[in-house]
Amino acid sequence: MSPVRYRDAPARRAALLERLTSRGYVSSVEAAEDLGVSEMTIRRDLDRLTGDGLAQRVAGGASLPRHDAPSFSARRESAGSQKHDIARRAAMLLQNCATVALDAGTTVAALADLLPRHLTVVTHSVPLLTACTAAGDLGVMSLGGWYEPDTRSFTGPHARAALEASAVDVAVLSATALDGRGLYWSSPLDADVKQCMVAAAETVVVLADHSKLGRRAPIRFASLDTVDVVVTDAEATTEQLTPLRAVVESVLVADREGARATVSPEAIRSRTSRRT
């Protein structure tokens, strides 16, 4: 199909804004090809949208503006006790694993001090890299790329290429939101890394406190049927859990007592056959 040519700048910017609104991210290269103009023209359009407060320039294109996005530290402190309960429950799933990919979410960061000492960790998260290298008895593979201050992580083509060449036993991911349709995130570049982790892993584990359930965010980075296990906290309601249990094989609810319950690592591995 030949590209639709947008020679009129307002119409072209309107088309870009529509893409931003629906997808959360616009690639300069893809937009130039689709709209039949040069990449430089698209960059100027995105600069104009950014100047108007309608977009935020990122590596390779633009995303929706995030004026009110809380800092990494604020996100880490939010629901702190629930995140630690979730992390303790999730750590038990990793006992028989050799390699685990960890994303840059603050709930996943709570795993840093709970990881079995024999693991090799693959991550793009600077806080996790710092913690895991300090531990001294973990194997660590760092994903390089473009540094994103909002998530304190490395993203972009270099991170993607490293993950595409990797195979990991378990990917442990966080999500800004999740519902019966899938997993959502707000940063397009970080969402891309999460997608690559899903593709590289035999088993996908998602950590999300109750405030994330039944919600949506701008970017859906994976469908729910790619997930093997969801771990949430004891404040999750039946209404929130029912749509997840209809699709996901195992939905674990962690509380102060339940976080210490034994969960068989073999149980999550046995379910990988349904995605192959």
Residues 99-103, mean pLDDT to the nearest whole number = 97
Quick check: is 2 in a domain? no
Do 41 and 135 lie in one domain? The reply is no
Confidence label for 108 from pLDDT (cuts 50, 70 and 90): very high
Q: How many domains does the chain have?
A: 2
Residues 119, 27 share a domain:
no
Do 121 and 57 share a domain, yes or no?
no
CA-CA distance, 275 to 227, in Å (whole number)? 9
* CATH at 203: 3.40.50.1360
Q: Which of 63, 80, 95 is the last residue of a domain?
A: 63
Residue 190 lies in a domain: yes
* Same structural domain, 171 and 242: yes
Query: What would the pLDDT profile of 211-241 be if each residue is shown by its tens digit?
Result: 899 988 778 899 999 999 999 999 999 999 9
Same domain for 224 and 135, yes or no, is yes
**Two tokens at 34?**
């689709």
> Is the pLDDT assigned to residue 113 strictly greater than 50?
yes
Phi, psi of 144 (to 5 degrees): -85, 180
Residue 218 lies in a domain: yes
Structural domain span for residue 80 = 72-275
Mean pLDDT of the chain: 83
Residue ranges of alpha helices (H) inside 201-260 are 238-245
- CA atoms of 91 and 89, how far apart (whole Å): 6
Asked whether the beta carbons of 236 and 212 are under 8 A apart, the reply is no
Q: Give yes or no: residues 78 and 139 share one domain.
A: yes
Contact 219, 191 (CB under 8 A): yes
User: What is residue 118's predicted lDDT score, i.e. its pLDDT?
Assistant: 84
Same domain, 112 and 50: no
- From residue 222, give the alpha-carbon distance in Å to each of 68, 97, 174: 25, 23, 12
What is the distance between the alpha carbons of residues 139 and 88, in angstroms, rounded to a whole number? 20
Residue at which a domain ends, from 23, 41, 63: 63
In a domain, 126, yes or no: yes
Q: Could you tell me the CA-to-CA distances from 273 to 16, 38, 109 in Å, in that order?
A: 40, 45, 28
- Coil, strand or helix at 104: coil
User: Is there a domain that residue 1 lies in?
Assistant: no
**At residue 135, what are phi and psi to the nearest 5 degrees?**
-65, -35
Residues 23, 137: one domain? Answer: no
Token readout for 61 is 């294109």
Q: How many residues does the chain have?
A: 276
Q: Label residue 22 by pLDDT band (50, 70, 90).
A: low
Residues 91 and 216 in one domain: yes
Both 251 and 157 in one domain: the answer is yes
Evaluate whether 197 touches 189 at the Cβ level (below 8 Å): no
The tokens of 275 are what? Answer: 């995605």
Residue found by looking up tokens 């694993």 in the block:
97
CATH number of domain containing 57:
1.10.10.10
Do 86 and 170 share a domain, yes or no?
Answer: yes
